[in-house]
Chains A and B, each alone.
Chain A
């Protein structure tokens, strides 16, 4: 039984979470200005166009910043301590929050290259996480 908070999927985000369930990282891209963005929304945050499409991202990026959580965000995360919460700068441009997994938190550094991996936490929800390349 997965007890941590799950994303509450809404019409804006449904395609995104459907993508992660198939182990694909999808990003919205604006057909007018050509830029990607994250998170998904009704208007492009760069040019406010509503002419948007979903594209599959490379899944690669670098660590923009990170913290080591020695105190959990509530009791359900306690067993994971110490764990790494990071912001990734995706190669396509946007930033996203995630966890860095599969490595000793003490070895994590800003600027390290990372690649997406997927954690199927429930039958409906798959969370994208990242590991060092």
Chain B
């Protein structure tokens, strides 16, 4: 079965203007256009697709949200493998793993992973929480703003245990902005200082407005197939060395330890074990940055530094352009775009870095990339370790 080894052969994201899809579009249209672009990037056609994976916040309200069923009809395809697993913004790192297994097992030959959101155009984002049913009855009545409140609770606990400072968290947004300044497609490209982050409103103290990701529209697609099929395609394939997933809780009070991102620890260990690479082998990392604290917790949980050492590591500037630890090289959810579930953009950027397509922000000679998605309220994690041929 060695010739069925799964690889990534196409990626695309939706162009944005001021964080919105120019001219407007439905979430289905956003995904259809991204899918067509990603297939063109690979040199494949929609009729080649026989595996469909998606997760999103769009859907027909009412019982039974059936996203792959809805999308296959819209795209006019008949997938023989589908996966709509939704573990939050990390779902797409999970989808790469699941698609790889399906391809290698022969359940499909060409897998399409999509995401689309028009949350900014629709003004559909709010902090008001979910109806206080089931487990939410122990959270929503107390007025926790979601999702920022859960992340702010983790930030406070990390500060308490390790002495992490608001300045250290702010430096993450600053380093990320420097990458965005090198990316013409990023939404926020103006200069940013630690002082500006700290003087933005402390919406969920200790987190400030500029500790939070953007709210934008967006869409993306990824195409995977077998290594053998990839030989005839347009671009050099990107190898999938390892993947892992984990989930721990939904209500923030049930997080195993608010100062440690257990889901990332577990998913990362699984991905590193499968890949058989070491931390020092990684040339570029793409970490989910819904909030600055998400990045710090991910860095520590994946073992790139000791627990508690993340604040000093990130404040050193090592992760900014020119540093020895290139991170979130497209400008991240903090400055590039964040359409609700960001995980697919980590993968798209990693693939482009490994292909050497990143222009001014290109990490020199990037051979191995690690993507880690975080979903829910620090609830789930999924890691992919990718490599160029």
Near A by CB (< 8 A), chain B positions 89-139 give 126-129, 131-135, 137-139
In the complex, the 6 A-B pairs of residues with the closest C-beta atoms, listed nearest first: A74-B128, A7-B137, A68-B205, A71-B203, A73-B145, A77-B143
Asked if B252 lies at the interface with its beta carbon under 8 angstroms from chain A, I say yes
Q: Is the CB of B127 within 8 A of A66?
A: no
Near B by CB (< 8 A), chain A positions 56-114 give 64-75, 77, 80, 82-83, 85, 87, 95-99, 110-111
* Closest-CB distance, A66 to chain B (whole angstroms): 6
Q: Which of A72, A95, A127, A129 is in CB contact (< 8 Å) with B254?
A: A95
Most-contacted residue by chain B among A9, A39, A73, A110 (CB, 10 A): A73
Q: Is the CB of A10 within 8 A of B203?
A: no
Complex: A10 Cα to B202 Cα, angstroms: 36
Q: What is the chain A residue whose CB lies nearest that of B206?
A: A67
When A65-B156, A99-B143 are in contact, do A71 and B254 touch as well, CB less than 8 Å?
A: no
Q: Which of A7, A73, A127 is in CB contact (< 8 Å) with B146?
A: A73
Q: Is the CB of A69 within 8 A of B143?
A: yes
Q: Is the CB of A85 within 8 A of B138?
A: no
CB neighbours of B59 from chain A (8 A)? none
Q: Is the CB of B137 within 8 A of A9?
A: yes
Q: Which of B134, B149, B254 is in CB contact (< 8 Å) with A67?
A: B149
Asked if B157 lies at the interface with its beta carbon under 8 angstroms from chain A, I say yes
Complex: A64 Cα to B156 Cα, angstroms: 9
Q: What is the chain B residue whose CB lies nearest that of A66?
A: B156
Q: Is the CB of A85 within 8 A of B205?
A: no
Asked if A133 lies at the interface with its beta carbon under 8 angstroms from chain B, I say no
CB neighbours of B202 from chain A (8 A)? 68, 70
CB neighbours of B133 from chain A (8 A)? 8, 10
Asked if A51 lies at the interface with its beta carbon under 8 angstroms from chain B, I say no
